[in-house]
Amino acid sequence: MQHLQSNTTLQGGKYRIERVLGQGGFGITYLAYSFSNNKHVAIKELFISGINDRSGYDNMVKVSNAANIYSFTQQKEKFKKEAKRLFNLNNPHIVKVYDMFEENGTAYYVMEYIKGTSLANSINKSSKDELTVFSYLNQILDALSAIHTKNLWHLDIKPANILVSKGTIILIDFGASKHIDRNSTITTSSALAFTPGFAAPEQLQCDMGKFGPWTDFYALGATLYQIITLHTPPSFTDILSDGDTAFSFPEFISERMKHIILWMMKPNRRERPQNVDEISPILKRNSSQLNNFIIINKPKVDGSETFINNPHDDFSALFDENGIIWDYDIINSYLVSDRFVEYLNSHSELFVENISKKTNISIGIVLCNIGWLMKEGRLKENWSCYIKRTKTRIDFSFFSTSIENVYNALDSVHLKSLEMISCLSKVSIAGSLLSIGWLMKEGRVVFENGLIKSL
- Contact assessment for residue 222 and residue 233, using Cβ atoms and an 8 Å cutoff: yes
Give Cβ neighbours of residue 72 (< 8 Å, ≥ 6 apart): 48, 51, 52, 63
Q: CA-to-CA distance for 351 and 346, rounded, in angstroms?
A: 13
- CA 156 to the chain's CA centroid: 15
- Contact assessment for residue 134 and residue 283, using Cβ atoms and an 8 Å cutoff: yes
Q: Is the dihedral of CA 437, 440, 441, 444 positive or negative?
A: positive
Task: Find, among 278, 372, 362, 277, the residue nearest to 326 by Cα.
Answer: 362
Helix (H, G, I), strand (E, B) or coil at 217: helix
DSSP 221-263: HHHHHHHHH-PPPPPHHHHHHHGGGG----TT--HHHHHHHHH
Please list the residues that pair with 369 across neighbouring strands. none
Which burial class, exposed, middle or buried, applies to 342 when counting CB atoms under 10 A from its CB (0-12, 13-18, 19+)?
exposed
- Contact assessment for residue 441 and residue 431, using Cβ atoms and an 8 Å cutoff: no
Catalytic-residue membership of 99: no
Helix (H, G, I), strand (E, B) or coil at 134: helix
- Contact assessment for residue 211 and residue 186, using Cβ atoms and an 8 Å cutoff: yes
DSSP 27-69: EEEEEEEETTTTEEEEEEEE--TTTEEE-TTT--EEESSGGGH
- CA 329 to the chain's CA centroid: 19
Q: What are the φ/ψ torsions at residue 7 (nearest 5 degrees)? A: 75, 0
318's enclosing H/E stretch is: strand 317-320
Could you say which of 129, 156, 216, 327 is catalytic? Answer: 156
- CA 48 to the chain's CA centroid: 30
Which burial class, exposed, middle or buried, applies to 390 when counting CB atoms under 10 A from its CB (0-12, 13-18, 19+)?
middle
Give Cβ neighbours of residue 102 (< 8 Å, ≥ 6 apart): 108
**Torsion from C-alpha of 411, 415, 420, 426, nearest 10 degrees:** 10
Query: Active-site residues: which are they?
Result: 156
